[in-house]
Structure 1
Amino acid sequence: MSRSVDSKHVNEIEVVKLFYVALNGNDIPAALSLLDPQIVRVEFEGTPMGGTYRGLDEMKDHFTKGRSTWAEGICNPEKITSVGNAFVVDVHVRVRLKDKTDWIDGRVADAFAFRDGKISEFRSFEKYEDATKWASHA
């Protein structure tokens, strides 16, 4: 028995994957091209870049400042789950900051909402359950 897959969700999943490829490759123009002009980004407090960012200009600054602290690393999206009209991504973060020898190794949950095929909201959570709760109401 075959299962039908919503092509809209397939396209949005591809956008999420491309977003991580751009982010990990420090390709800020490519990452920005996947965002809605009215993007809202919320990164949880307690991270070096915690806060709320709105629009492409603030996102460009956010990406540039955040990536400028990395010596090397990756945010690996291990699982992408459709939740209502949004997506939750289980992310393994492994980063070494400049002038540091120790690696930061942890997990976060990113949640994405879309408008017209572009990412309109991008939120990071410490707990996967919190990301799922947000996504179910997005």
Structure 2
Amino acid sequence: MRKLLPILFLFIVVCFLSCTSKDKQVAENIKTYSNTWDGIINAGKLELINDTHFDERITLLMNPENIVGIKNVQDFYANYLTGFTNIEFTIVDIFGQGDKIVKHWNFKGTHSGDFFGIPATGKSVDIDGVTLVAMKNGKITQEQDFLDNMAFMQQLGVLSNPNNIATIDTLYKAFAAGDIPAVLASMDPKVVWHEAEGNAYADGNPYKGPEAVSNGVFARIGKDYDYFNLAQIQLYEMAGNQILATLRYQAKSKKNGTVIDAQVAHHWFLKNGKVIGFQQYVDTKQLAKAVNK
């Protein structure tokens, strides 16, 4: 038994040193990795993508085709540095095991330049993602990013929010129910509203803010008409978070009893699920007959 004790002690020492060595290597990998990407993205030092920090066969796992090699990886990330200003790249959390690293990151910036062929939109983005990393001999050898690309494109203004049609549909249903507070609640505090030129209500164009729309448009509709219905509503999704609505106004004037059945189009502009702009197109001749004594 006594002969086994030195062997057991040696075994424990070897295991301890081995674990300590592995922990130290993970810590060094994380430090190298974090400092490298902070310099590349936040400091704009694209030249840090070199054979000092990256394996010469660095591979970005992509679909449908991987990006391989230092020069190709440089070209890929150049799109971010030329496409965005006001960049803030933050590593929210990072940990590793062996030669593997997992990174949770956040990217903020203003789309002010060409980004993979997408012209500048001036939109701000704020996107989270996760990267799986493989290290080799202290260098970055493989990366695979996971992020919500649809949300990213929506923030750029390239794709529209899929909930926009539902937002406008809910707004029309609230108007039909006479729930004007709900209609106003769907609007951004800085909404800009335009009535059609030639419409009597266009005298306040542009109405800015929900209260102005309520007082300048909705209150006057209630005063001028016995009923004012929206019929045959059709909604069409457009690029850039815009919705086109075609419909008809069916109403009866309180002033002279005129009944109208007018063809109408509404052009809606949305951002983050709220209406930020509105443009009306309507047969203003019929509306003029209804409001004249």
* Counterpart AA for 1:8: N
- Superposed counterparts of 1:27-38, under 5 Å: 27-38=179-190
Which residue of structure 1 aligns with residue 147 of structure 2?
none
Label 1:95 to 1:45 Cα distance change in 2 as closer, same or farther (>3 A). same
Asked if 1:52 is matched to 2:206, the reply is: yes
Asked if 1:13 is matched to 2:170, the reply is: no
Contact 1:39-1:120 within 8 A present in 2 as well? yes
Higher relative contact order (CA 8 A, sep 6+): 1
Shift of 1:47: 1.5
Asked if 1:87 is matched to 2:243, the reply is: yes
Q: Out of 57, 76, 90, which is 2:231 matched to?
A: 76
Please list the CA deviations of residues 78-101 of structure 1 after superposition, one character each: whole Å capped at 9, or x if unmatched: 211112121100011111011433
Contact 1:49-1:66 within 8 A present in 2 as well? no
In structure 2, distance between residues paired with 1:99 and 1:59: 22
Q: Out of 111, 123, 130, which is 2:267 matched to?
A: 111
Which 5+ residue runs of structure 2 have no aligned equivalent?
1-158, 284-293
Give secondary structure in 2 for the equivalent of 1:26.
coil
In structure 1, distance between residues paired with 2:174 and 2:185: 10
* Counterpart AA for 2:198: G
Which residue of structure 2 aligns with residue 26 of structure 1?
178
Contact 2:262-2:282 within 8 A present in 1 as well? no
Please list the CA deviations of residues 53-107 of structure 1 after superposition, one character each: whole Å capped at 9, or x if unmatched: 0012201212212232120131125211112121100011111011433311111
RMSD, aligned CA? 2.0
Shift of 1:35: 0.4
In structure 1, distance between residues paired with 2:197 and 2:161: 32
Contact 2:160-2:239 within 8 A present in 1 as well? no
TM-score by length of 2: 0.39
Label 1:83 to 1:7 Cα distance change in 2 as closer, same or farther (>3 A). closer
Contact 1:40-1:52 within 8 A present in 2 as well? yes
Runs of 4+ in 1 over 6 A off after TM superposition: none
Indicate the percent of aligned positions where both proteins have the same amino acid. Answer: 22
Label 1:31 to 1:108 Cα distance change in 2 as closer, same or farther (>3 A). same
**Alignment: residue pair count:** 121
